[in-house]
Chains A and B, each alone.
Chain A
Amino acid sequence: DAKTTQPNSMESNEEEPVHLPCNHSTISGTDYIHWYRQLPSQGPEYVIHGLTSNVNNRMASLAIAEDRKSSTLILHRATLRDAAVYYCILRDTGYSTLTFGKGTMLLVSP
């Protein structure tokens, strides 16, 4: 699996936007970019994924660089419930496994 690089931690204030970066300079043309998050004492949950174009859903937006070597997960208005570890993962449709790194711990202050 191609590797991703994320900051260990980030801080935000409640109701402010949060931009979580991910570098993936060795991404291949068939790798999709997935984001998962893990709330304290829970299993990971899917957030969003994309291939080339920016994606939006009810939870977040995913901005993908034109060269696809980096991406940014955007939480438009952080809430205390968004405090979690966020994982950026590359996954090729030809591979059946999902490989997790250490992720970014997002701290949200009131």
Chain B
Amino acid sequence: NAGVTQTPKFRVLKTGQSMTLLCAQDMNHEYMYWYRQDPGMGLRLIHYSVGEGTTAKGEVPDGYNVSRLKKQNFLLGLESAAPSQTSVYFCASIRDLMNTEAFFGQGTRLTVV
């Protein structure tokens, strides 16, 4: 039981390049989330999904797109990376809304130069 796995763990991009971050969970959770965390800050929600085939915007969605074609995977895309997107990205999943705990991945450290 791996929990929540993020790929890759580290990446350096040039401004304007694109990339996709993959989040995979093996717990059959309905809800999945992408957060970003900047130095000295708490986590800010980018996008989330309440089930397979659904996505919704969070607090800071601009510059990102997401897809949830399979229940176990939640992809975060950067179409044209900017230095302001340099951050640590965390994925999380929750089984349902009955106040169960959220499980987080180990993070992806992204640097855009």
Contact = CB atoms under 8 A, between A and B. Distances in A.
A37 to B, nearest CB: 11
A98 B107 contact: no
B33 A46 contact: no
Given A43-B104, A44-B104, A97 B45 contact: yes
Contacts of B59: 99
Given A44-B104, A49-B99, A87 B42 contact: yes
B98 A99 contact: no
A36 B42 CA distance: 12
A94 B97 contact: yes
Interface residues of B, number: 27
Question: Mostly helix, strand, loop or mixed at chain A's interface?
Answer: loop
B50 interface: yes
A42 B107 contact: yes
A68 interface: no
Contacts of B61: none
A45 B104 contact: yes
Contacts of A96: 31, 48, 50, 94, 97
A46 B42 contact: no
Contacts of A101: 42
A45 B102 CA distance: 8
Contacts of A94: 97
Contacts of B101: 34, 46, 49
Contacts of A98: 33, 45, 92, 94, 102
A49 B101 CA distance: 8
B85 to A, nearest CB: 19
B90 A44 contact: yes
Interface of B: 4, 31, 33, 35, 40-45, 48, 50, 58-59, 90, 92, 94, 97-99, 101-107
